[in-house]
Amino acid sequence: MLGYFKEACSHLKREQNYKVWQDGYHAEICSSNKFIQQKLNYIHNNPVKDKIVANPEDYIFSSARNYASLDNELAVLVLNVF
């Protein structure tokens, strides 16, 4: 498995030993509430986009349920970014 991850980064210009994620995905600093809200909305709407549920809070494994004050098995620290 490590050999596969090592080969996956062989084409990169920067020095990197292993690559797990697809090209184009990179860490970003959450520098504002607006940015955090944008990312939360993106994550919460993925099951809706994939037509798994009609509303983000309907997806049982989503923290959108916590933000909607619904019961959830996940322990989530709800951020006040609105």
Q: Output the average pLDDT for the chain.
A: 86
**If we measure between CA atoms, which residue out of 32, 12, 13 comes closest to residue 21?**
12
pLDDT band at 68 (very low <50, low <70, confident <90, very high): very high
- Kindly report, residue by residue over 21-43, the tens digit of the pLDDT: 766 767 788 888 899 889 899 99
pLDDT band at 81 (very low <50, low <70, confident <90, very high): low
